[in-house]
Structure 1
Amino acid sequence: MTAEDHGSPDPAGAAPLPRILCDTAGLSASGDVPAGALWKLAEPGRQLDANVVRIPPAGRVGTHTEPDLDVLLLVLDGEATLICPDGPRPLRAGILTWLPHGSARGILAGADGATYLTVHRRRPGMRIQPPGAAAGLRP
């Protein structure tokens, strides 16, 4: 779902312009909201990735670790529990959470489900490298 931005693609060589991308309140305004990604940032040349994700009632994102990227998570609607190694943390609309890279986390949606925005640095595309190239990237 895209909000009206009253803009057009920039002419070649022109400075990029701010744009309204999405009305997040409108994404979950209808009663029957699907689970999964409701919106993704897809503009060319971006340095960030962002998603609006819906977890159905009592649904979950299994515990996992993101080794490379810090993630900001902003709950837009509903309630959930952030599952962390040191204990659960309640999440509700308006709560902004930092998920540092290397941290283990999972999400358990509440009785009405949860909708949240995630933002992180864009992951570079995968490229075929010559044998041994990855060893040069390690600290």
Structure 2
Amino acid sequence: MHKDEARGSTPGVLARMPELLRDLPADRGGALWRLDREGRQLDANLVRLTAGAEVGESVEPELDVLLYVVDGSGRLDTDAGVLDLEPGCVVWLPRAARRALSAGERGLMYLSAHRRRPGLTIRNASGEGGESPCLLNRVCLACGRLAPENDARYCGRCGERLPED
């Protein structure tokens, strides 16, 4: 076995989206698929926000994020203005840019990709060290709401348990 194969970095088909989506309830929100290969340098997630769901305002201080709109519609509020989203849109969110995302009446499904974060470390009093955690564990799988609290375990809108880290 080649050393790259042992680390899981062999190229291959990871998912077939039509098959994945066919087996999921149409009203399920949250992360539907995640890139989970060992040794990867990239994170990617397929996320569905149900109709009217929002991902509240946030700023990603360390990573650029790329979004590809797969289905539905929505809007992205940024410091530069409002962007209307529809299938086929590719959006670049530069690091340190403020953003808030909301789904339209048919919901919004998007694929996000960004550089993988290194392991978390404890910050010292100066605020140095470590990386900000990914917010996906705070997005409710049932309704798509982003919990505002870092340590939330249940959705404040629908009461469902939030995903584990």
Instruction: Tell me the TM-score normalized by structure 2.
Output: 0.67
Gaps of 5+ in 2: 130-165
Residues 30-41 of structure 1 aligned to structure 2 (within 5 Å):
32-41=26-35
Between the aligned partners of 1:133 and 1:89, the Cα distance in structure 2 is 33
Separation of aligned partners in 1, 2:86 and 2:34:
21
Letter in 2 for 1:102: A
Which of the residues 53, 73, 95 maps onto 1:79? 73
> Over aligned residue pairs, what C-alpha RMSD do you find?
2.3
Please state if 1:26 is matched with 2:16: no
Q: Distance in 2 between matches of 1:33 and 1:17?
A: 34
In structure 1, the residue matched to 2:48 is 54
Q: Which moved more, 1:78-87 or 1:66-75?
A: 78-87
Residue aligned with 1:68, SS: coil
**The structure with more strand, counted as a fraction of residues:** 1
Shift of 1:22: 1.2
Pairs within 5 Å for 1:1-139: 11-13=1-3, 16-29=9-22, 32-127=26-121, 134=128
Rounded Cα–Cα distance in structure 1 between residues aligned with 2:126 and 2:82? 41
Q: Distance in 2 between matches of 1:129 and 1:82?
A: 31
Deviation of the 1:53 alpha carbon: 0.3
Tell me which amino acid in the other structure corresponds to 2:118: P
Aligned-pair CA distance for 1:74 = 0.3
Size of the aligned set, in residue pairs, is 125
Q: CA deviation at 1:14?
A: 5.0
For the residues of structure 2 that align with 1:31 and 1:133, how far apart are their CA atoms? Answer: 42
| Alpha-carbon separation, structure 2, partners of 1:133 and 1:113 | 37
